[in-house]
Amino acid sequence: MDETKILSINMGSIYAEDYETCFSFYHDILGLEGASPTGSKSCYFNIGKNQGLYLEGGYEPSEGNAKTARTTFTLEVSSAAAMFEKLKKKGIRTIQKEPMKMAENIFWFQCFDPCGNMVEFMGGE
């Protein structure tokens, strides 16, 4: 067995300019729960049993341009369409005009968090 084989993604990290605004986006709008503070401007959101997102504030702002090179992560949701509508109602900037059909009953779209980080969503219709 190759002990260096990647088995899963354990954690995503978000480096934000404004910790409080991004915390509100991920906690209040996206509904991530179980935030454990790891410092005065950082926390860890548990997602499921073995995964999570780390958020840390105090960084320079991103350009927020969809065509710049970057790393992103994809959050799984039951309904991509429902999440898309929720974000649009909250005034969150999306890249696509609607979720794109990727396969049978699998839809995907991207948005920007308040600090310009790209976030992707994938789920059913």
Please check whether residue 4 lies inside any domain of the structure. Answer: no
Specify the amino acid at residue 43: C
Tokens of 111: 């948005």
Q: What is the pLDDT of residue 64?
A: 64
What's the pTM value of the predicted model, to 2 decimals? 0.87
Please check whether residue 49 lies inside any domain of the structure. Answer: yes
Q: What is the pLDDT of residue 48?
A: 86
Please check whether residue 6 lies inside any domain of the structure. Answer: no
Please check whether residue 2 lies inside any domain of the structure. Answer: no
Please check whether residue 1 lies inside any domain of the structure. Answer: no
Cβ pair 98, 109 in contact under 8 A: yes
Q: What is the pLDDT of residue 38?
A: 93
The count of structural domains within the chain is 1
* Residues 6+ positions from 70 with CB-CB distance below 8 Å: 62, 117, 118
Specify the amino acid at residue 100: M
Q: What is the pLDDT of residue 69?
A: 67
Q: What is the pLDDT of residue 16?
A: 92
Rg (CA), the chain: 15
**What is the CATH classification number for the domain harbouring 98?**
3.10.180.10
> pLDDT tens digits, the chain, 125 residues: what are they?
798 787 788 899 999 999 999 999 999 999 998 889 999 999 999 998 889 999 999 998 776 677 776 788 999 999 999 999 999 999 999 999 999 999 999 999 999 999 888 999 999 99
Domain housing 92:
11-60+72-124
